[in-house]
Chain A
Amino acid sequence: MFNTHSRSPGLIASIASLWQYRAFILGSTKREFQTKYKNSLLGFAWPIINPLALILVYTLIFSNVMGTRLPGAAVDGGSSIYTYSIYLCIGIIVWTLFSELTSRAQVVFLENANLLKKLNFPRLCLPVIVILNAGLNFLIIFALFTLFLLVTNNFPGYSFLAIIPLLIILVAFSIGLGMTLGVLNVFFRDVGYFYSVALQFWFWLTPIVYSANILPEKIRFLIFFNPLTNLLQAFQGIFIHHQWPDWSRLWLICVLAILLNINGFRLFRKRSGEMVDLL
């Protein structure tokens, strides 16, 4: 009699239902973007002003006013006065994408509790909307950054194309992690609080503001246990040294991305029924 039946669909069925709900996914993405600036006078100027300010601050303060050069040996290849500014910008832009994806995904089920409880729609729409929104914000800031590179004559050339696979790896890793945290967060709210603390440490344990070369040699190997280190260095390599990434160094984050996605999807399938009861 206790034939517990599960109505969570498999992978193929999930993708099919996402396609059927594409209008909802695109509509929600658009609305979420609009909502942020809806009640402001300047409206759509804000998503441009923000990243512009970021690039300006790092360029003016670190490159011109303080005259800082990128600390450590990584500066060797870069000759421009903008080197450190570019180093900081790309690090922060990539980090922002990562942190936005994971922190939005980990609350996505909690925030949409009402929708999940009252309407029957493919629940996987929600993480997809998170990806699209974070992707949109990233595109705006990244387009401005690219423009800045072109203007200051620092465009990396054909190695620029390498960012596409790098971004795919980053998004896969982030959403796998975010989904896992998102499901866990419904059951144990501590996960959410813990992650926002962990994110602070994670930022400073990743070579974004500094270069790995400035670390004492004895402990330098430790930073490579951080799966983001090699990925960030690949990005920085493209924009500072205009060099094609060394793909073999990205195995750790790729393996983790696959494992986290499998785990996240399985956890989601197994717990999504119970999740709705708790929301």
Chain B
Amino acid sequence: MAQIIVRNLGKAYKRYPSKWSRLAEWMLPFGGNRHTLNWVLQDLNFTVNPGESVGIIGVNGAGKSTLLKMISGTSQPTTGSVEMTGKVAALLELGIGFHPDFTGRQNAYMAGQLLGYSVTQITAMMPAIEEFAEIGEYIDQPVRFYSSGMQMRLAFSVATADRPDVLIVDEALSVGDAYFTHKCFDRIREFRKQGTTLLIVSHDKMAIQSICDRAILLNQSKVAIEGKPEMVMDYYNALLADRENQNVRQELTPSGKVKTTSGSGEATILDVALLNTEGKRIEVVQVAQEVILSAKVRCNQAIDELVLGYMFKDRLGLPVYGTNTFHLNKPLKNLPAGAEMEFNFRFIANFGPGTYSLALSLHASDNHIASNYEWRDHALVFTVINSKEHFEGVAWLPPSVEIK
């Protein structure tokens, strides 16, 4: 079983004031250091336990790739250390070292050799590689004729032909088509079941939440937060929406979930509730019951445009349904300071049984990235129970059956 222990890890690149100063630093024995250090990562401490899978998220330039490079050993840490046991496979970039003039098969051998396999080992793995890549007769065509997706298929198949003890994945899976991406994730899940420790960088919320036990958010060269993927993703979304203010608050709700609030505060959500058709607050909903989502909002300042958006999430934090008043063609324009309004959304709760949470956001235009007045995760948590016939899943899609 493989473990990754990261201690005091930091990376700095040397920055020289001029081209000549590096030479001066090398040549003059007592000249001292002439460079300044540009820290991209500092004081990282975390452990990935055997068999655990951890996601790393962060905005572009947060240092995710640098971290993976240090863990996989291509880049040397400036401070601290990485301790790792077992056989490591790092998918930092797929198709590295592929030569366009050689066939897929020859390139598979080459890529395998780069991973340290012998020719005999690769020959033994070759049928499985071909089968997984599913590129058919192209395997014996020069890679020059491959599409980028086909190259990726082959590269992934070779890199994961043998189960590693530690698998490090850097957003490499985004090139393939949906079918192959699914296949890749299935393989990764399969590895996990067999005990592979996984470290993955992705911007894909679904990928992180469905695969990882834990997530680490890197922000401004440090670990900003570490914990359950759902909580970290919420924090990350809030951070994205709130880049200038960095004004993100998290508090623990009585139910044990973490509630994330952020935003510039030009408008506030005063109250939110789920009501039945008689206007009474409910926390338990029957499958297919008609309900009303009601939210009271106040403008703290004059606002040009106000849109209310909401998203239902299942217990894993995966989105179930979301929309906003922009898409519903009801954006509010030119609101004065102090204006208060109530939004009522009436719908049939076609949820499957389970617990769900609601996230709300107040913003301008069609998404919360540009200007975010308020963002609130776990604004509401409710339970859906089923009194109909048994079914599985998060959606109630009752069929009529006809058997011939």
Contacts and interface: CB of A to CB of B under 8 A. Distances in A.
Decide if A and B are genuine partners: yes
Interface of A: 1-7, 20-21, 23-24, 27-28, 31, 35, 38-39, 114-121, 187-188, 272-274, 276-277
A188 to B, nearest CB: 7
A31 B74 contact: no
B79 A115 contact: no
A24 B113 contact: yes
B90 A35 contact: no
Contacts of A20: 116
B96 A118 contact: yes
A120 B74 contact: yes
B76 A27 contact: no
Contact of B74 (A1, A27, A38, A118): A118
Contacts of B72: 120
Interface in B128-186: none
Size category, B interface: 35 or more
A23 B117 contact: yes
Contacts of B102: 31
B109 A27 contact: yes
Contact of A276 (B75, B78, B118): B75
A39 B101 contact: yes
A141 B109 CA distance: 29
A272 B74 CA distance: 10
A5 B77 contact: yes
Nearest to B118: A23
A115 B110 CA distance: 12
A188 B13 CA distance: 17
A274 B96 contact: no
B78 to A, nearest CB: 7
16 contacts: A1-B79, A1-B80, A5-B81, A24-B116, A27-B110, A28-B110, A28-B113, A115-B97, A119-B97, A120-B73, A120-B88, A121-B114, A187-B22, A276-B74, A276-B76, A277-B14
A138 B284 CA distance: 82
Contact of A117 (B13, B74, B113, B114): B74
A58 B158 CA distance: 50
Contacts of A31: 99, 102, 106, 110
A234 B89 CA distance: 50
A3 B79 contact: yes
Contacts of A273: 75-76
Given A115-B96, A118-B93, A7 B113 contact: no
Kindly list the 8 A-B residue pairs having the minimum CB-CB distance in the complex, ordered from nearest: A273-B76, A24-B113, A120-B73, A23-B113, A27-B113, A118-B96, A118-B93, A23-B118
B328 interface: no
B371 interface: no
B252 interface: no
Given A20-B116, A31-B99, A39-B101, A2 B79 contact: yes
Nearest to A25: B113
B23 interface: yes
Contacts of A121: 114-116
A3 B72 CA distance: 19
A35 B110 CA distance: 13
A116 B77 CA distance: 15
Contacts of B113: 21, 23-24, 27-28
A263 B22 CA distance: 19
Contacts of B14: 274, 277
A19 B90 CA distance: 21
Contacts of B73: 7, 120
A202 to B, nearest CB: 23
Contacts of A274: 14, 76
A277 B69 CA distance: 11
B8 interface: yes
Nearest to A27: B113
Given A1-B8, A35-B101, A119 B74 contact: yes
A38 B8 CA distance: 49
Nearest to B117: A23
Nearest to A271: B26
A158 B233 CA distance: 76
A118 B72 CA distance: 9
Contact of B13 (A23, A39, A120, A277): A277
B119 interface: yes
A160 to B, nearest CB: 35
A4 B78 contact: yes
B145 to A, nearest CB: 14
A91 B360 CA distance: 81
A118 B171 CA distance: 13
Contact of B90 (A23, A115, A120): A120
B92 interface: yes
